[in-house]
Chain A
Amino acid sequence: MEIKYYIGLAVALFCIGIIGVLTRRNAIIIFMCIEVMLNAVNLLLVAFSKMHAAAPVGKSMPSVVSDAQIFVFFIMVVAAAEVAVGLAIIVMMYRNVHSVDVNFLNRLKN
């Protein structure tokens, strides 16, 4: 497989995630689209690690490959923590406003 297919796939997923963030009003859905974006990045990282495994860079520095995959691991770690805290916040918001509509979060106005 050529790397460009994976790049295309990752870019597509990423942009779909962005469209989702911009389009939806439900806070939870927005959160989920962020997860989509993160996953797209993860996919790309792994793909590149595989590419470098075959390419000259990877031959001289074999740790590159595992570094990328460890990096993906830590991204997942952070994502998990972020989801925990984020959902807590959303629950708080729901308790106060009784809605998860993002448009109600306009305290930054003025």
Chain B
Amino acid sequence: MNNVLQIVWLIPFLPLLGFLINGLGRKQLSKTLSGIIGSGVILISFVISLWVFFNVKGGNTHVAHYFNFIDVNAIKIGFDFQIDQLSALFLLIITGVGLLIHVYSTSYMHEEDSKDFAKYFSFLNLFVFSMLLLVMGANYVIMFIGWEGVGLCSYLLIGYWFKNTSFNNAAKKAFIMNRIGDLGFLLAVFWLIKKLGTADYHTAFDIIVNHKAATFTPVDVTGITILLFIGATGKSAQIPLYTWLPDAMAGPTPVSALIHAATMVTAGIYMIARSNVLYSANGAEISRNIIAVIGLATALLAASIALKQNDIKKVLAYSTVSQLGFMFIALGCGNYTAAVFHVMTHAFFKALLFLGSGSVIHAMGGEQDITKMGGLNRYLRITQITFLIGCLAIAGCPPFSGFFSKDAILVGAFENNKVLWVLAVFAAMMTAYYMFRLYFLTFSGKFRGTHDQEHHLHESPTAMTLPLIILAILAVIGGFVGVPHILNGHNEIATFLQPVIPIHENANPLSSSTEYGLMIGTTVAMFIAGLLAYLQHRNYVAKENKGLGKVLANKWYIDELYQSIIVKPIQSIAAFLNNVVEKKGIDGFVNGVGKAVNYGSRQARLLQSGHVGNYVLLMVIGILILFIVQLFLK
């Protein structure tokens, strides 16, 4: 047991080390070396995480205390790591999927300059470090350090090709929207510290569960939970702070896979799952309802937009937003385990889909428009098969992983609110539809690109296809840890997470037949949606979008809305401040001092007129003043 504590610090430290080596030595290191260092540290972290996982599975949880981070009067916040079931699971996901993406990147980014290559890996390692800090922290403050860190790395990596202004704008957008959410997070943490005197998970949750704090009212719970959720909307791209995620596709595809599919965006889910005690406490019903509603709205909105997008990565981005919405629906229904389960399966198949799209883009020589693709199944066999597996998983086709996790969410939604369930199923149908649209447009039919592109088409190198294969296998079998009881499974994941996320037995559980019915019903719905997509997009005909289609293709004009409501007023205020206050006011004042001195000196120069008469006059005046001072004022 003590061995765990002795080496658990290595898990985040190694990526930090990788960041420093690659970052500082980027001019000296060759591409191979920086790739090996970058991926190697993650590999070692993964091995240690595995070891920790099995240790935790054996029933041991640990809190590792390193030093007193903040030690002021009433507040003691230590730099502590908490290794329990939830964090162990996330450790595996982060380091495992991270490792695969690192390996993939060594091949995908090989066209970069060796200096930029090392920079990329250093940022990626820094990101993994921050994310690990986030999930391993034992209190909200350490989580916030990681929270901010991943936001920063997201900015750095989205703007990786910094010579392009629109990419930089996308990076800025991501960071700023994250920041808005962070304000909510911070306020929640401050509130918590004020009311409970601690930000420690263990201590705080203990107080709440055992009602040890008399001053902690349900109003406090509502406030804190809503504020935490605001932080989650920024990080996990929910309404209204989701528009940064599609724009974040400006970054390299492996970045999109790691950050915007598998890990960073799930930080919000992790945070709420970790705070499940808060969200189950008295007074949190309102917040849970808000979470469910927003999750649902986001899922529907994003799915509808994805129906009409033509950029392969944008479809996947909106799909991510939509899937995150599903996870929040689960959280809103109190079904934290299902949300975490879906995080895991989503990490597998979304990373798979993104990496697959990266392979396609690589083969197409940089083309991302699916209307110019088609018929790639002849050339990109491995990519096609793995991509298909990913689509089946995300659509919820049994027995792939997505089926089990999505089913868990939908069952929870049904128990909560029937309308919620109906709309969630509708969103799931849209998921199936747009994913298969994407698949068929990309891989089936005739090739619609240029002749040069056709010559260039080739399967990607092993460094890229191997992660695809591994992720595909995980996408297939990943769901088997959460097989529900009615299918004769043991729902291992729920049992595993129980110490952290208590299983609430439902007052009136659904009968088996209802559950079966739901399961079959949703599966059939998916098949219908998939079939529809096949029929409509088997042979692509370019059509102009009209009416609703146009609105969807233009993302419901939400970006334009934000631009006019928020961005323009702020810019005009800033312009006002710049032109009036800064230039005329402050600059005017400063320049005015200079001008006054100038003017004064010019006037003073007139004294030297050269006329002796003037000099005499001044002399007399001087004597006068001297007399006055001497005789009357002394």
Contact A103 B617 (CB under 8 A): no
Residues of B within 8 A of A22 (CB): 613, 616-617, 620
Contact A110 B612 (CB under 8 A): no
Contact A103 B611 (CB under 8 A): yes
**Chain A 72-90 interface 0/1 with B at a Cβ cutoff of 8 Å (1 = within):** 0000000000000000000
| B165 sits at the interface (CB 8 A) | no
Contact B616 A105 (CB under 8 A): no
Contact A108 B608 (CB under 8 A): yes
The total of interchain contacts (Cβ-Cβ below 8 angstroms) comes to 29
Cβ-closest chain A residue relative to B612: A105
Residues of A within 8 A of B611 (CB): 102-103, 105-106
| A18 sits at the interface (CB 8 A) | yes
Q: A93-110: which have CB < 8 Å to B?
A: 102-103, 105-110
| A59 sits at the interface (CB 8 A) | no
Contact B612 A102 (CB under 8 A): yes
Q: What count of chain A residues pass the 8 Å CB interface test?
A: 13
Q: A1-51: which have CB < 8 Å to B?
A: 18, 21-22, 25, 30
Report the Cα distance A110→B613, complex, angstroms. Answer: 16
Cβ-closest chain B residue relative to A103: B611
Contact A110 B610 (CB under 8 A): yes
A101 to chain B, nearest CB (A): 10
Report the Cα distance A48→B498, complex, angstroms. Answer: 117
Q: What count of chain B residues pass the 8 Å CB interface test?
A: 9
Partner of B610, one of A21, A25, A30, A109: A109
B486 to chain A, nearest CB (A): 105
Report the Cα distance A71→B610, complex, angstroms. Answer: 35
Residues of A within 8 A of B609 (CB): 106, 109
Residues of A within 8 A of B610 (CB): 105-110
Report the Cα distance A21→B608, complex, angstroms. Answer: 19
B161 to chain A, nearest CB (A): 62
Report the Cα distance A108→B620, complex, angstroms. Answer: 19
Report the Cα distance A14→B620, complex, angstroms. Answer: 12
A25 to chain B, nearest CB (A): 7
Residues of B within 8 A of A106 (CB): 609-611
Cβ-closest chain A residue relative to B624: A18
Report the Cα distance A109→B617, complex, angstroms. Answer: 16
**Chain B 605-634 interface 0/1 with A at a Cβ cutoff of 8 Å (1 = within):** 000111111001100100000000000000
Report the Cα distance A108→B613, complex, angstroms. Answer: 12
Contact A103 B608 (CB under 8 A): no
Residues of B within 8 A of A18 (CB): 620
Contact A102 B608 (CB under 8 A): no
Report the Cα distance A57→B620, complex, angstroms. Answer: 33
Cβ-closest chain B residue relative to A102: B613
Report the Cα distance A109→B611, complex, angstroms. Answer: 7
Report the Cα distance A18→B616, complex, angstroms. Answer: 9
Report the Cα distance A74→B612, complex, angstroms. Answer: 27
Residues of B within 8 A of A105 (CB): 610-612
A13 to chain B, nearest CB (A): 15
B587 to chain A, nearest CB (A): 33
Q: B347-363: which have CB < 8 Å to A?
A: none
Report the Cα distance A18→B623, complex, angstroms. Answer: 12
Report the Cα distance A103→B612, complex, angstroms. Answer: 8
Contact A103 B620 (CB under 8 A): no
Interface residues of B (CB under 8 A from A): 608-613, 616-617, 620
A-B contact pairs, 26 of them (CB 8 A): A18-B620, A21-B613, A21-B616, A22-B613, A22-B616, A22-B617, A22-B620, A25-B613, A30-B613, A102-B611, A102-B612, A102-B613, A103-B611, A105-B610, A105-B611, A105-B612, A106-B609, A106-B610, A108-B608, A108-B610, A108-B612, A109-B608, A109-B609, A109-B610, A110-B608, A110-B610
Interface contacts beyond A22-B616, A22-B617: sample of 9 additional A-B pairs, CB < 8 Å, sorted by A: A30-B613, A102-B612, A102-B613, A103-B611, A105-B611, A106-B610, A107-B610, A108-B610, A109-B609
